[in-house]
A and B are shown apart, each in its own frame.
Chain A
Amino acid sequence: MGAVVLMPGANTDIPKCRQVAVVVGWDPKFSPGMEIDASSFLVGADGKVPSDAYFVFYGEQSSPDGSVRFLSSPSTGVDFDVQAFDVDLDKVPAQVEAIDVCVTIHEGQVRRQSFANLKGVFARLVDSVSGREIARFDLHVDGMKETAITLAKVYRRSGQWKFRAVGQGFAGGLAPLARRYGVDVANEIPSPPVSESKVRLEKRLVDLEKKAPHLVSLAKKASASVDKFHLSGTVCRVGLVLDASGSMLRQYQQGRVQEVVDRIFPLAVHFDDDGSLDVWAFAEKSRELTPLTSDSVKSYVDREWGGWQKWMRVLNSDINYEPAVIRAVIDRYRGTFTTQAVQPVYVVFISDGGVGSDKEIEKLLIKASQLPIFWQFVGIGGSNYGILRRFDTMQGRFLDNCNFFSLDDLHSVTDQELYDRLLAEYPEWLKEAAAKGIIRG
C-alpha cells in the first residue's frame, strides 16, 4: 500500500509497527546563512513536557527512557532527508500522549529569515524496520512568517498510534515554541530569540534549581563572569583535580573542598558538553572519580568513592605525587581528540602547595602545552606555593597553558571575584590555541 499523503490538520493511523522514524527535510537542503534544526517534544495530556528532559534535539539526543532518539543524519538514503527522530512506540512512557516534531530556523528573526524563504518543508513517517514510507506531509511555506513550527505529531488515541500533519508555529522562533510546550525558557530580552545553546543552558539551570538549589546563585555569578569574558556559548570539557594528601586534611574536615567543588561545578554546567564535571583525586596515587553531575554534587566529597577519608587512605595521603594525576588527566582527554575535532579542556587543579617532583611536573606541562588543555592551578589554605607559581611563567612551552592564583581562604574573595580569576586567562589561551591549530573543529 502506498504512503498516505496528508494535508495540514489531517491524520492517519500508524499500522502495527514497533519502531517508526519521523524524518524531516527541507528544500533547498542548504541555504547560505540559514541554519535549520529539528527538535521534538514528548508531551503529556496537557500538551506540555513532563520535564525539560523530554525536549529531544541535537543538544539532548535521547529522551530519558530512550523512546525517542534524535538522528542528525538519517541513513535513509533519500537525498532530501536531513534529520530524523527514531521512535520506539513500545517504550514511550504511559504519561506521554504525543511526540511533536518541530523545525526551527536558528536566529531566524534576527537574520530576517522565515520558512517562506524555502521552497518547502516535509515530514515523512517511515517504518524503521522495513524503511517503507507510511505517510508524508509536504508543508506549503509561501507567506509563512514563522521561524519555528510544529511540523507533525505522533500521538496516541484510544490505544491506537496516529500521525498528524500540523504545520503551525511562531514568528518568534524556538523560545515561544519551547515555552508553549512547557520548557522553562527564561527570557531576559524580548528579542532576538534565544539560541539553542542558551536554551540548553537554561534547561541545565532549571535542572540545577531542582537538584542543587543551593548552587543556583553561584551559577548566576558564574554566568556573569562567563558573559564578561565573552565565553558564553563556548564548549569545553571541564575537569577538577583535588589534592587528597595529608596536608589537605583540615580543608576536607572544614568542608572547604566541597565548597570548591560547589564553585567549580557551575563552570561545567556552562561549558561541558554533558554538563558534567570530570573529577580526580590524588595523593601518592591518582584516581579518576565518577563524573559529577547535578544529581551527585551535593556532598560529593563525602559520598563519592567512600568519601574523602577513603581517598586519603587508599591513595596514600603521606605523599603527594602530582605527575601521576597530571599524566592521568592528559591520557584521559587525549583519547577524545580526533584529527577533525579537538575540543578544549579546562582543568582546575586544587593544591595546598608543598608540591614535590617539580622537575617532572615541569616536563609534563611543557610537553602538554601542545595539547588543548588549559591548567588553572588554584592554591588553597596552604603555603609554599613558590613552585606552583612558577608553572605560570615557565619557559619552553609551545604556548602558555597554565595559570596560578592562590586563595588563603576561599572566603577571602567573593564568589564573583573567584569566577573572574578562574576565567581571566582562559580566553587568551583559547585564542592562541585556536590560532596555533591546537583547537579545531
Chain B
Amino acid sequence: MTVRAEEPALSSKIAPIHDVGLFVPCLVDQYLPEVGEATVRVLRALGLRVHYERRQTCCGQPAYNAGHMKQARRLAGRTLRLFDAQPVDAIVGPSGSCVSMLRVHAARLDLKPRDRAAWASVAPRIFEVTEFLDLRLGLKRLEGRYPRCITYHASCHLTRELGVRDAPKRFLASLEGVELLPLPDEGVCCGFGGTFSTKLPELSMAMGRDKLDAFHRSGADELVMGDAGCLLQVRGVAKAAGEDPGRIRHIIEVFADAMEAK
C-alpha cells in the first residue's frame, strides 16, 4: 500500500501511555452503545484511564461519502478540534471507517486553518481499537478466554485504508479455547457503504446476503467484525432472514467478554 504524503505516520509506541480519549461514533452512540461500553471495559482492563468528550457527535463521514463536502468539513473539523483539546495521549474508537474519516479523508477536505491544525495534531494519534492494541500498546496477544468457534469479516476501511489486516485475527486467535475459522470472501464488502445502503438498497441487501451466506459456509458459530456500519448491516440482514443477530458480534465485545472470563 503506497503511503501518500498527507497520511501521517502513526506515533510509535515508545512513549508510555496513560490517558486515552474515547471516539464514540454516532452509530455506536445511538445504536450500539454496548460496543462503546466494551471498548471502555477493555481499555480499563489494560490499565488505561478513559476519557469521554461528551460534546462529540459525528465525524461527518455520511456527508463526505454523499459528496456534501461543506457539511462534512464542518463536522469533521468540529470533532477534530474537540479531540485535540482533550488532555489525552491517544484517541481510540471501535470503528475503522470512522477513524479513517478523521485520519485519512479529513485531510482532503480543505479544512479551515484551525481545523487543519487540529487534524495535524490528532491524526498521528487516533486509532481504531485493535490497531491501538497492536501498534500503540505493542501487544502481541490478549489474556482472555473465549471457547467458541468464530470467523472474522475484514471490514473495507479498516483493512484497505488503515492497513489493519493481521492484528484482529492475531488477537482473536490468541484467546484461550477459541477456534478461528477462515471466512470465505473475507475481504468482500458487506454492502453497507453508508449512503449506498439508501441509494441502492437492493444491491446493499444482495451484498449483505452474500456475507451472511459466507458466514454459513464458514461453519463458525459467530461472525466477528470491527466496524459499526458492517455490524448493523450484517445483523440487519440476519434478522431479515429470520436468523439470530446475536451471533454477529463486534470484536471489542469479544475481547471484553474474553478478558473478563479469565
Q: Do A and B come from one complex?
A: no
Residues of B within 8 A of A (CB): none
Residues of A within 8 A of B (CB): none
